[in-house]
Structure 1
Amino acid sequence: MKQKRILVIRPDRVGDVVLATPLLRELRKTFPDSFIAVMVRPYTKDVLLNNPNINEIIIDDFEKEHKGWKGFWKQVLKLRKYKFNIALHLLPTQRHAWMTFFAGIKTRINVGIKFYGVLTFMKYVSRNKYIPIRHEADYSLDLGRKIGVKSDNIEPEIFLSYEEIEYAKKLVPKNNDEIIIGINPLSGKSSPNWEIEKYIDLAKKILEEIPESIIYVNLHNDLDALTKFKSLKSSRVNFIYNVSLRELILYISRFDLLISSSTGAMHIASALKVPTVSMFCPLPACSPNLWGPLGNKHEIILPSENFCKINCPGDPHICAFGDGIKVDDVLKATLKILNHISVK
């Protein structure tokens, strides 16, 4: 029987790539002798390092190195060399539809019917207008089901090497009586999120209410947010600033709890089985039914229905929850999680 050579394409954000890992695992279980590669953007590849279910990570830097027609044809020639016979497009894009077509991949499966998909003779899976709504990881698994995967296991996973685990202990040292709480206050407007000042107020209350707590705040490379958080002036508050995604993963692996909105950091935590407290918008496109954490202990906080009816701005990317989610709501959920977990 001819070897299955499968290309999984997920050219979007960190959380999306994390939620593709169940598909990769179930493809490997179903087709143990297959060759499996994943095509992702440069900055998300760290999610997949050390993953035993894939043979190769292929970078598509369509904003820089592989931009334009020259970059496109360079990628087509690269894919031809792998001799893939199956391509699973988890995010529909015209670029990748034509890329896999010209690469000569026989079986190509997309999400939904697109005009360019018809032109390139793609098969497809339907999301049925998200009715009933399911989790994004389950929708991704549909493409695997199209070629024979039977599983419903959608728990994500990230794999750390022994050396990384030891290095993480140096990044986040910890005494037995300490509780390490991570706060990820930034979302890049990928989801509704608090203003930074509310996260600062939350950190103050955590320091007061949980005397054994040590806080790590992930500030990406936002200098303004760093300056605001430094107003806390506490030796128990540490800042994660301008680190690689892989290093951020190592930091998160040491947390006893991560607090955030619906972000890639939340999905990283869930894949590492780190408990989370997460704020969500109830709109279907943003809801925890579609994007919630999987496989870890978690608390999900939604604004009240009445608040959203009156105050919804219509665009979740600019929503800051207003008074719909209060600092005390998140503190209460934090204490609830900590009361139910055994500290590492």
Structure 2
Amino acid sequence: MRRIIISRTDSIGDVILTLPLATFLKKFYNGDCYIIFLGRLYTKEIINLSNDIDEFADYAEIDKMNMSDAVAKFNSFNADTIIHVFPVIKIAKLAKFAQIKERIGTSNRIYHWLYCNKLSFFSRKKSNLHEAQLNFKLLCPLKIATNFSLNKIRSLYNLDFEALHNEELLKLKDNNKFNLIIHPKSKGSAREWGIQNYKKLIELLPPENFKIFITGTEEEGKLCEELFAFEHVSNLTGQLSLKELISFINIADGIVACSTGPLHIGAIFNKIAIGIYPPIKPMHPQRWAPLGNNVKVFVKEKDCNKCKNKNEKCLCIEEIKPEAICEYLKTIIIRDK
């Protein structure tokens, strides 16, 4: 049985866009492979939802070890192949020292020329492909066709929905209304729409049709307090673990957010997932839109890079009108009646 490590040690959204690789590899090898996902502990709950990932390995624990122990840990995986989806020089070095037979990475990292023995020649930075499509480009050294459509990749999510059941959170749902999650912050990982825009959206959404839940960390909740004053809003900031948040997204009917992990979670659960994006490359939706059957992306179609390298507000994203998102949500309610 072939044993494969998929290495992706960054954020939740990035990990979600990598999960289809595991499902594809399981199918390609007719189930005769064992998939180990090397990631960060805080993404474990998402990784464990995949029915096609056999083992999770916490890179933070390995990173604490001395080099000898870390190599021994890599040896214990008995891996035949490692795919460096998110490049990390130490992981590349450990894989070589552990003498993993096939070590696949992109040619754009100089250290991959030293530590990998199979290179995939493409540039994420210059590509117009979606992040999920770029992940599949790393299979090229395995002589696997890599030109996947987004529709094909969407079909490769094989998730354990039974693990999401949470009776207590289910009690929060109003079955007579559209249960909408608003996740207004991003921990600084994405351009944000602005609290005033979310406030206006809440004002526009009629209480008789919508029950709204604000999610985020406790610290983010302190920045969103003016959103909690509405009668049809419930404040869940700081109250949910990641596992509970994942379960609650599955319970809700839809989510509105910028380019964050919760938006991607909602999308793969086929919820109404409304993403608010900047036009800036490579942050734009062509690269980072969530994958799902009920995704709607709002973006200001213009060529603008004014705030690309600055830690400041994005005027383009803030120009997206709350009225447009409100009207879209109302059409969803009419459609589903």
Per the TM superposition, whether the score is higher than 0.5 is yes
Once the two structures are superposed, what CA deviation does each residue of 1:258-310 show, in whole Å capped at 9, x if it has no partner? Answer: 1011111111111111111111111220111111121221221112427x47x
Once the two structures are superposed, what CA deviation does each residue of 1:52-82 show, in whole Å capped at 9, x if it has no partner? Answer: 2111000111xxx4445x3554332112012
After TM superposition, the structure 1 = structure 2 runs for residues 1-344 of structure 1, keeping only pairs within 5 Å, are 3-31=1-29, 32-61=31-60, 65-67=61-63, 70-128=65-123, 132-150=127-145, 152=148, 153-155=152-154, 157=157, 159-162=159-162, 164-167=164-167, 170=170, 172-175=172-175, 177-206=176-205, 208=206, 211-222=208-219, 223-230=221-228, 232-234=229-231, 236-305=233-302, 308=304, 312-315=306-309, 318-321=312-315, 323-340=318-335, 342=336
Q: 3-state DSSP class of the match of 1:216? A: strand
Structure 1's unaligned 5+ residue stretches are: none
AA at the equivalent of 1:281: P
Q: 3-state DSSP class of the match of 2:165? A: helix
Once the two structures are superposed, what CA deviation does each residue of 1:234-269 show, in whole Å capped at 9, x if it has no partner? Answer: 254342424221211111111211101111111111
Q: 3-state DSSP class of the match of 1:146? A: helix
TM-score by length of 1: 0.87
Once residues 215 and 185 of structure 1 are traced to their aligned partners in structure 2, the CA distance between those partners, rounded to angstroms, is: 12
Once the two structures are superposed, what CA deviation does each residue of 1:160-184 show, in whole Å capped at 9, x if it has no partner? Answer: 4536325376353332x21101101
Residue 113 of structure 1 deviates from its aligned partner by: 3.3
Q: 3-state DSSP class of the match of 1:318? A: coil
Once residues 260 and 168 of structure 1 are traced to their aligned partners in structure 2, the CA distance between those partners, rounded to angstroms, is: 24
Any conservation in 2 of the 1:158–1:272 contact (CA below 8 Å)? no
Q: 1:316 to 1:123 in 2, by over 3 A?
A: farther
Residue 106 of structure 1 deviates from its aligned partner by: 1.2
Residue 30 of structure 1 deviates from its aligned partner by: 0.6
Q: Which has the higher contact order (CA 8 A, sep 6+)?
A: 1
Once residues 242 and 281 of structure 1 are traced to their aligned partners in structure 2, the CA distance between those partners, rounded to angstroms, is: 29
Once the two structures are superposed, what CA deviation does each residue of 1:127-183 show, in whole Å capped at 9, x if it has no partner? Answer: 3465551111111112234324447321163634536325376353332x2110110
Residue 125 of structure 1 deviates from its aligned partner by: 1.4
Any conservation in 1 of the 2:173–2:252 contact (CA below 8 Å)? no
What count of residue pairs does the alignment treat as equivalent?
329
Structure 2's unaligned 5+ residue stretches are: none
Any conservation in 2 of the 1:192–1:317 contact (CA below 8 Å)? no
Once the two structures are superposed, what CA deviation does each residue of 1:76-129 show, in whole Å capped at 9, x if it has no partner? Answer: 211201210100000111111101111210110112332211222432213346
